[in-house]
Each structure stands twice: as structure tokens, then as C-alpha cells.
Amino acid sequence: MSEANRQVGVVLVSHSRQVAESVAHMALGLAGGVAVPVAPAGGTGDGGLGTSSELITEAAHRVDRGAGVAVLADLGSAVLTVRTLLAEDELPPGTRLVDAPFVEGAVAAVVTASTGADLEAVAAAATEAYGYRKL
């Protein structure tokens, strides 16, 4: 089944371009060198702190392989912009905002996506990252 080879895409939306890029880099590194479609969408279009709907839309289309796209966002306008884009059908079909902590959730999502898991499993793994206690 060719669909089994299609990986879930992951989009990382942060207020900061550097945070989004670094978390993408870290999650891919921890996925053990397997190529996973991951795209950061951080900051405003001109590199400032904030959210760009264009960067998010572009990133979602870039990682879409037809198996769905998991979007993780940090806070405030990042979350609200993704929710608005979903409500207005601006993102590829099968795109979902995942309720997850940003860094831990991104690692869980990318590692899970690298195994060829479906969107449901990727989203669940990211959300489960909330349960990872540090004390």
C-alpha cells in the first residue's frame, strides 16, 4: 500500500522564528535521521516576534504528503491564528491543531511521524507529552 509510505507532516508555530527553527532541528535530530516532513513557521514575515498566517499556510502546504498535517503552536496569537485558519479552511485537508506542549510535543510528534504512524497516532503522542512529569 503506497499510502503507508506517506508521512504525516508537522508544522511548528512559534512567536519566534529561532524557537520554531530550533525546535524543528531538535525534533528531527531526535528522530534519528529519518526524513520527516517538518516545517517551522516562526515569527512574523519580517522576522519579528509574532505570528504570520502566510508562513503557517505555506509551511502546512509544504509538509503535506496527503497523510495529514499536525500543527503545534506555542501560545496566544500562534494558537489563535492556526485555529482561525482551520475554521476558514485555509490549510490543507487533514490538518489538525494538536493540543500539546511545544517542545516535548514536537519531539513526540516528529519521532512518531518518522515511524510512518497516522495522524491520529502522531497527535496522540504529542498530547501525551503533557503527562511527562519532571518531578
Residues belonging to the active site: 15
Give Cβ neighbours of residue 43 (< 8 Å, ≥ 6 apart).
14, 15, 16, 17, 18, 20, 49, 50, 51, 52, 55
Return the C-alpha cell found at 133: 512529569
Q: Is 47 in the site for another protein (CB under 8 A)?
A: no
Q: How far is the CB of 95 from another protein (least distance, A)?
A: 16
Q: Is the dihedral of CA 74, 29, 57, 19 positive or negative?
A: positive
Q: Is 54 in the site for another protein (CB under 8 A)?
A: yes
Task: Report 3-32 residues binding another protein (CB under 8 A).
Answer: none
Q: Is 88 in the site for another protein (CB under 8 A)?
A: yes
Contact residues toward another protein (CB under 8 A) are 44-45, 48-54, 76-77, 80-81, 83-85, 87-88
